[in-house]
Amino acid sequence: MTKKATLTIGKDSWDFPVKSGTAGPDVVDVSTLYKDTEKFTLDPGFTSTASCESEITYIDGDKGVLLYRGYPIDQVAEHGDFLETCYLLLYGHLPTKSQKKDFDSRVTYHTMIHEQMTKLYSGFRRDAHPMAIMVGVVGALSAFYHDSTDINDERQRMIASLRMIAKMPTIAAMAYKYSIGQPLVYPLNSLDYSSNFLNMCFAVPCEDYKANPVLSRAMDRIFILHADHEQNASTSTVRLAGSSGANPFACIAAGIACLWGPAHGGANEAALAMLAEIGSVERIPEFIARAKDKNDPFRLMGFGHRVYKNYDPRAKIMQQTTHEVLNELGIKDDPLLDVALELERIALTDEYFIEKRLYPNIDFYSGITLNALGFPTTMFTVLFAVARTVGWIAQWKEMIEDPLQRIGRPRQLYTGASERNYVPISLRK
């Protein structure tokens, strides 16, 4: 029996179907609401709106659960590697040994960028924020890879997907090298994905560089944790851009632009800056008070989440990774970590945070880890974008391949001026 929801306005009533998914809240399908009732729904920030059906990622915010194609994030992060996660998100199942070998090889042989693209970097100031460079260079990919921009061609969609996953580390590493005035380092096909990325970021021509396997594994796990997260702001941006038929490179550039905001992917950079501003555990109460003060725009960066009303499962794994990296680097007491641990302890016992169900999210510890790995704070969101590219691409492909897909075009509640006649400037008072 089909479940239904009844909307009654005055003497009129309308029924709308209620749909259930594999897990999570049911949805009321209001796609015919306007046609039936001549009314819109209003939901700023989409706090109660499901924008699509998806099979890729599931989050239970109350239980702090995150599944990639049904697999719990802690199992994927512990047992798999990032390229296996990419395969899982793109194809919907874990690869066999031969599928994994083939996929790794296909990604590896797309890691170089067109040589002329390296000239784009010199058009930026050296102190340009790397995210500004990422938006520009990724958007420019469509100017170089015309043979994978036809979104209606399945083969081109897959080539574009592989190119994005393969080239993002190269583009990101080159943005970093350019910002510090060092020569660009090309990808090495003999290295695994994360070791290759660290090599492109930290190798210099005058000496051999060998990525520390513990740090490469930590980098790989950080990529896994950031790979996808259902319909977050940047993924919704990519879907909306893609719904117009824009090419995949342009859609990913739009996602990067959205991710940059401090309320979203920019929070890892902001969280580390906040920990540095707090500086010592003695000053934590002052900042907790500011976070609770309605008149103070300050928020604890790395805390709170639209969906998680429990501990972000990624934050737990990130915290473990932080300790692994600091131990491997012999960093005994990182003052920022001391502040972070004490801030978390205090916040989790504070009535305000308990009542508003604010917990650390993935961005709370990631900055400390990335800082220890040697990245400047301006690169933190770039690393988030490198990882999230596979999520954006998987969600974009799912949307393009959905037979019900159409251009996204929300409506509004108009509260502006009623119709009025134009007044020539000579008659205006």
Binding site for ligand SDX (CB under 6 A): 45, 229, 232, 263-265, 267, 291, 299-307, 356, 358, 361-363
What's the min distance (Å) between Cβ of 344 and ligand SDX? 12
Distance from C-alpha of 291 to C-alpha of 85, rounded to nearest angstrom: 36
Contact 268, 370 (CB under 8 A): yes
Query: Is residue 363 flagged as an active site residue?
Result: yes
Task: Copy the structure tokens of residue 338.
Answer: 């001391």
| Cα separations in angstroms, 383 against 34, 127, 170, 195, 370 | 42, 18, 11, 14, 9
When the beta carbons of 83 and 271 are compared against ligand SDX, the nearer one is: 271
Q: Min. distance of Cβ 393 from ligand SDX in angstroms? A: 15
**Cα–Cα distance, 66 to 74 (Å, whole number):** 9
**78-102 exposure pattern, b = at least 16 Cβ within 10 A, e = fewer:** eebbbbbbbbbbbeeebbeeeebee
Identity (one letter) of the amino acid at 159?
A: I
**Is 60 assigned a catalytic role?**
no
Within 203-312, residue ranges assigned H as helices are 213-225, 233-243, 248-259, 267-278, 284-292
Closer of 85 and 361 to ligand SDX (Cβ): 361
Residue 140 or 394: the one with the smaller Cβ distance to ligand SDX is: 394
Residue whose CB is nearest to ligand SDX in the complex, by number: 304
The dihedral through the CA atoms of 246, 249, 250, 251 has a sign that is positive
- Least separation in angstroms between residue 300's CB and ligand SDX is 4
Please, which residue, 86 or 140, has the CB nearer to ligand SDX?
A: 86
Q: Name which of 113 and 343 has its Cβ closer to ligand SDX.
A: 343
Annotated catalytic residue within 220, 312, 334, 363:
363
* Cβ neighbours for 116, distance < 8 A, ≥ 6 positions apart: 144
Q: Which residue, among 166, 148, 22, 60, has the nearest Cα to 107 in the 3D structure?
A: 166
From residue 371, give the alpha-carbon distance in Å to each of 219, 304, 325, 340. Answer: 12, 22, 10, 14
- CB neighbour list of residue 270: distance below 8 Å, 6 or more residues apart: 262, 301, 302, 363
From the CB of 302, what's the least distance to ligand SDX, in Å? 5
Nearer to ligand SDX, 203 or 347 (CB): 347
* 426 token code pair: 């000579």
Q: Which is nearer to ligand SDX, 45 or 403 (CB)?
A: 45
Which structure tokens are listed for 250?
């342009």
Q: How far is the CB of 169 from ligand SDX (least distance, A)?
A: 19
Cβ 111 to ligand SDX shortest distance, Å:
25
Q: Which is nearer to ligand SDX, 120 or 301 (CB)?
A: 301
* Long-range CB pairs of 343-350, under 8 A, 24+ apart, other chains included: 343/275, 343/278, 343/281, 343/284, 343/287, 343/288, 343/300, 346/284, 346/285, 346/288, 347/288, 347/300, 347/303, 350/288, 350/292
Q: Choosing from 229, 305, 312, 334, which is the catalytic residue?
A: 305
| Minimum CB–partner distance for residue 348 and ligand SDX (Å) | 13
Rounded least distance, CB 388 to ligand SDX, Å: 7
Q: Which residues are identified as catalytic? A: 305, 363
